[in-house]
A and B are shown apart, each in its own frame.
Chain A
Amino acid sequence: DSGVTQTPKHLITATGQRVTLRCSPRSGDLSVYWYQQSLDQGLQFLIQYYNGEERAKGNILERFSAQQFPDLHSELNLSSLELGDSALYFCASNPTGGQNEQYFGPGTRLTVT
Protein backbone atom coordinates (compact mmCIF):
# COMPACT_ATOMS: atom_id res chain seq x y z
CA ASP A 1 0.00 0.00 0.00
CA SER A 2 1.59 3.25 -1.22
CA GLY A 3 -0.58 5.53 0.92
CA VAL A 4 -2.11 7.18 -2.17
CA THR A 5 -5.82 6.60 -2.56
CA GLN A 6 -7.91 6.97 -5.68
CA THR A 7 -11.66 6.87 -6.13
CA PRO A 8 -13.58 5.42 -7.74
CA LYS A 9 -11.86 2.15 -8.58
CA HIS A 10 -13.95 1.60 -11.70
CA LEU A 11 -16.09 3.94 -13.73
CA ILE A 12 -18.27 3.13 -16.72
CA THR A 13 -19.85 5.97 -18.64
CA ALA A 14 -21.08 6.90 -22.09
CA THR A 15 -19.49 8.99 -24.80
CA GLY A 16 -20.04 12.70 -24.39
CA GLN A 17 -20.30 12.51 -20.61
CA ARG A 18 -18.13 14.13 -17.95
CA VAL A 19 -16.46 12.40 -15.01
CA THR A 20 -14.30 13.39 -12.05
CA LEU A 21 -11.53 11.21 -10.67
CA ARG A 22 -10.27 11.85 -7.19
CA CYS A 23 -6.84 11.38 -5.63
CA SER A 24 -5.65 11.75 -2.05
CA PRO A 25 -1.86 11.94 -1.79
CA ARG A 26 0.25 10.42 0.96
CA SER A 27 0.17 12.37 4.17
CA GLY A 28 2.62 15.27 3.91
CA ASP A 29 3.15 15.04 0.15
CA LEU A 30 2.69 18.39 -1.57
CA SER A 31 2.99 17.25 -5.18
CA VAL A 32 0.45 15.26 -7.17
CA TYR A 33 0.88 13.78 -10.63
CA TRP A 34 -1.70 12.34 -13.01
CA TYR A 35 -0.94 9.65 -15.61
CA GLN A 36 -3.01 7.87 -18.23
CA GLN A 37 -2.28 4.28 -19.19
CA SER A 38 -3.95 2.91 -22.28
CA LEU A 39 -3.16 -0.26 -24.20
CA ASP A 40 -1.78 1.52 -27.24
CA GLN A 41 -0.07 4.52 -25.60
CA GLY A 42 1.46 3.08 -22.44
CA LEU A 43 1.93 5.29 -19.38
CA GLN A 44 1.63 8.96 -20.28
CA PHE A 45 2.21 11.88 -17.96
CA LEU A 46 -0.73 14.28 -17.95
CA ILE A 47 -0.16 17.00 -15.37
CA GLN A 48 1.55 17.83 -12.06
CA TYR A 49 0.44 20.05 -9.21
CA TYR A 50 2.53 21.29 -6.34
CA ASN A 51 0.86 22.80 -3.29
CA GLY A 52 -2.16 23.86 -5.28
CA GLU A 53 -0.37 25.25 -8.32
CA GLU A 54 0.15 23.66 -11.70
CA ARG A 55 3.83 22.74 -12.03
CA ALA A 56 4.17 20.75 -15.27
CA LYS A 57 2.00 19.72 -18.16
CA GLY A 58 2.28 16.70 -20.39
CA ASN A 59 0.03 15.31 -23.09
CA ILE A 60 -3.18 16.46 -21.47
CA LEU A 61 -6.09 17.10 -23.81
CA GLU A 62 -8.02 20.35 -23.64
CA ARG A 63 -11.12 18.35 -22.65
CA PHE A 64 -9.27 17.31 -19.48
CA SER A 65 -8.53 19.55 -16.53
CA ALA A 66 -7.24 19.09 -13.03
CA GLN A 67 -6.88 20.97 -9.80
CA GLN A 68 -5.35 20.51 -6.38
CA PHE A 69 -7.29 21.74 -3.39
CA PRO A 70 -6.06 23.37 -0.16
CA ASP A 71 -6.24 20.01 1.63
CA LEU A 72 -3.90 18.74 -1.16
CA HIS A 73 -6.28 16.24 -2.68
CA SER A 74 -6.58 16.47 -6.44
CA GLU A 75 -9.29 15.92 -8.99
CA LEU A 76 -8.98 15.11 -12.67
CA ASN A 77 -11.98 16.17 -14.74
CA LEU A 78 -12.58 14.51 -18.09
CA SER A 79 -15.32 15.93 -20.31
CA SER A 80 -16.88 15.20 -23.71
CA LEU A 81 -15.63 11.67 -23.27
CA GLU A 82 -14.68 9.59 -26.29
CA LEU A 83 -14.15 5.85 -26.65
CA GLY A 84 -10.41 6.48 -26.83
CA ASP A 85 -10.40 7.94 -23.32
CA SER A 86 -10.96 4.47 -21.91
CA ALA A 87 -7.85 3.80 -19.84
CA LEU A 88 -6.37 3.41 -16.40
CA TYR A 89 -5.75 6.74 -14.71
CA PHE A 90 -3.08 6.82 -12.03
CA CYS A 91 -2.32 9.45 -9.50
CA ALA A 92 1.10 9.66 -7.83
CA SER A 93 2.49 11.89 -5.10
CA ASN A 94 5.79 12.87 -3.58
CA PRO A 95 6.91 15.33 -0.96
CA THR A 96 8.48 18.12 -2.99
CA GLY A 97 7.91 17.46 -6.68
CA GLY A 98 11.60 17.06 -7.36
CA GLN A 99 13.70 14.02 -8.14
CA ASN A 100 12.26 12.04 -5.22
CA GLU A 101 10.46 8.83 -5.99
CA GLN A 102 6.79 9.03 -6.81
CA TYR A 103 4.25 6.90 -4.98
CA PHE A 104 1.47 5.66 -7.21
CA GLY A 105 -2.11 4.94 -6.30
CA PRO A 106 -4.03 1.84 -7.42
CA GLY A 107 -5.63 3.66 -10.33
CA THR A 108 -9.12 4.30 -11.65
CA ARG A 109 -10.24 2.22 -14.59
CA LEU A 110 -12.42 4.30 -16.90
CA THR A 111 -14.51 2.60 -19.55
CA VAL A 112 -16.31 4.78 -22.07
CA THR A 113 -19.05 2.99 -24.02
Chain B
Amino acid sequence: DAKTTQPNSMESNEEEPVHLPCNHSTISGTDYIHWYRQLPSQGPEYVIHGLTSNVNNRMASLAIAEDRKSSTLILHRATLRDAAVYYCILRDTTSGTYKYIFGTGTRLKVLA
Protein backbone atom coordinates (compact mmCIF):
# COMPACT_ATOMS: atom_id res chain seq x y z
CA ASP B 1 0.00 0.00 0.00
CA ALA B 2 1.12 3.51 -0.73
CA LYS B 3 1.62 5.08 2.69
CA THR B 4 2.10 8.56 4.07
CA THR B 5 3.79 9.80 7.22
CA GLN B 6 2.71 12.97 8.99
CA PRO B 7 3.47 14.53 12.38
CA ASN B 8 0.77 13.74 14.92
CA SER B 9 0.16 17.36 15.86
CA MET B 10 1.21 20.92 15.12
CA GLU B 11 0.42 24.33 16.55
CA SER B 12 0.18 27.67 14.86
CA ASN B 13 -0.69 31.20 15.84
CA GLU B 14 -3.71 32.79 14.25
CA GLU B 15 -2.99 34.71 11.05
CA GLU B 16 0.42 33.07 10.69
CA PRO B 17 1.29 30.73 7.79
CA VAL B 18 1.26 26.99 8.51
CA HIS B 19 3.34 24.37 6.73
CA LEU B 20 2.04 20.82 7.17
CA PRO B 21 4.57 18.22 5.95
CA CYS B 22 3.92 14.78 4.52
CA ASN B 23 6.33 12.03 3.51
CA HIS B 24 5.32 9.52 0.85
CA SER B 25 8.50 7.77 -0.23
CA THR B 26 6.65 4.83 -1.85
CA ILE B 27 4.57 7.00 -4.16
CA SER B 28 4.15 5.65 -7.67
CA GLY B 29 4.53 7.72 -10.80
CA THR B 30 0.84 8.16 -11.45
CA ASP B 31 -0.37 8.77 -7.89
CA TYR B 32 -1.85 12.13 -7.10
CA ILE B 33 -1.25 13.55 -3.63
CA HIS B 34 -4.54 14.47 -1.97
CA TRP B 35 -5.13 16.53 1.16
CA TYR B 36 -8.32 16.46 3.17
CA ARG B 37 -9.17 17.93 6.52
CA GLN B 38 -11.69 16.93 9.14
CA LEU B 39 -13.16 19.56 11.39
CA PRO B 40 -14.55 18.42 14.75
CA SER B 41 -17.78 16.43 14.39
CA GLN B 42 -17.78 16.65 10.59
CA GLY B 43 -16.90 14.47 7.64
CA PRO B 44 -13.59 14.95 5.84
CA GLU B 45 -13.43 17.91 3.47
CA TYR B 46 -11.33 18.13 0.31
CA VAL B 47 -8.53 20.69 0.46
CA ILE B 48 -6.29 20.25 -2.57
CA HIS B 49 -4.54 17.70 -4.74
CA GLY B 50 -1.64 17.63 -7.17
CA LEU B 51 0.63 15.41 -9.21
CA THR B 52 3.99 17.08 -9.85
CA SER B 53 3.68 20.84 -9.96
CA ASN B 54 2.83 23.09 -7.08
CA VAL B 55 -0.88 23.83 -6.86
CA ASN B 56 -2.87 26.73 -5.45
CA ASN B 57 -6.54 27.13 -4.69
CA ARG B 58 -8.64 29.39 -2.50
CA MET B 59 -8.05 27.22 0.56
CA ALA B 60 -4.36 26.39 0.41
CA SER B 61 -1.22 25.72 -1.60
CA LEU B 62 0.46 22.40 -2.18
CA ALA B 63 4.22 22.26 -2.63
CA ILE B 64 5.48 18.96 -4.06
CA ALA B 65 9.15 17.98 -3.88
CA GLU B 66 10.92 17.37 -7.14
CA ASP B 67 11.33 13.65 -6.39
CA ARG B 68 7.67 13.55 -5.23
CA LYS B 69 8.63 11.74 -2.04
CA SER B 70 7.30 14.53 0.12
CA SER B 71 4.87 17.40 -0.02
CA THR B 72 3.80 20.33 2.12
CA LEU B 73 0.35 21.79 2.56
CA ILE B 74 0.53 25.53 3.13
CA LEU B 75 -2.23 27.51 4.80
CA HIS B 76 -1.26 31.09 4.15
CA ARG B 77 -3.01 32.67 7.14
CA ALA B 78 -4.34 30.25 9.72
CA THR B 79 -7.65 31.08 11.33
CA LEU B 80 -9.36 29.46 14.29
CA ARG B 81 -11.65 27.71 11.80
CA ASP B 82 -8.65 25.90 10.33
CA ALA B 83 -8.23 23.85 13.50
CA ALA B 84 -8.75 20.31 12.23
CA VAL B 85 -7.06 17.01 11.47
CA TYR B 86 -5.28 17.24 8.12
CA TYR B 87 -4.81 14.04 6.11
CA CYS B 88 -2.30 13.54 3.33
CA ILE B 89 -3.47 10.65 1.18
CA LEU B 90 -2.29 8.61 -1.76
CA ARG B 91 -4.32 6.29 -3.89
CA ASP B 92 -3.85 2.60 -3.19
CA THR B 93 -2.77 1.04 -6.46
CA THR B 94 -2.71 -2.65 -5.46
CA SER B 95 -6.13 -3.27 -6.91
CA GLY B 96 -5.79 -0.82 -9.77
CA THR B 97 -8.66 1.27 -8.47
CA TYR B 98 -8.94 4.62 -6.77
CA LYS B 99 -9.30 3.94 -3.08
CA TYR B 100 -7.83 6.24 -0.48
CA ILE B 101 -5.74 4.99 2.40
CA PHE B 102 -6.06 7.52 5.22
CA GLY B 103 -3.23 7.75 7.73
CA THR B 104 -3.51 9.17 11.23
CA GLY B 105 -3.22 12.76 10.01
CA THR B 106 -1.87 15.89 11.69
CA ARG B 107 -4.01 17.59 14.31
CA LEU B 108 -3.58 21.33 13.81
CA LYS B 109 -4.21 23.59 16.77
CA VAL B 110 -4.56 27.29 16.05
CA LEU B 111 -3.83 29.65 18.92
CA ALA B 112 -5.66 32.97 19.19
Contacts and interface: CB of A to CB of B under 8 A. Distances in A.
Interface of A: 2, 4, 33, 35, 42-45, 48, 55-58, 90, 92, 97-99, 101-107
A56 B44 contact: no
Contacts of A4: 43
Contacts, number: 55
A48 B49 contact: no
Q: How large is the interface on B (under 10, 10 to 19, 20 to 34, 35 or more residues)?
A: 20 to 34
Contacts of B100: 45, 102
B6 to A, nearest CB: 12
Contacts of B105: 42
Interface string B38-55: 100011111001000000
Interface in B72-104: 87, 91-92, 95, 97-104
B104 A42 contact: yes
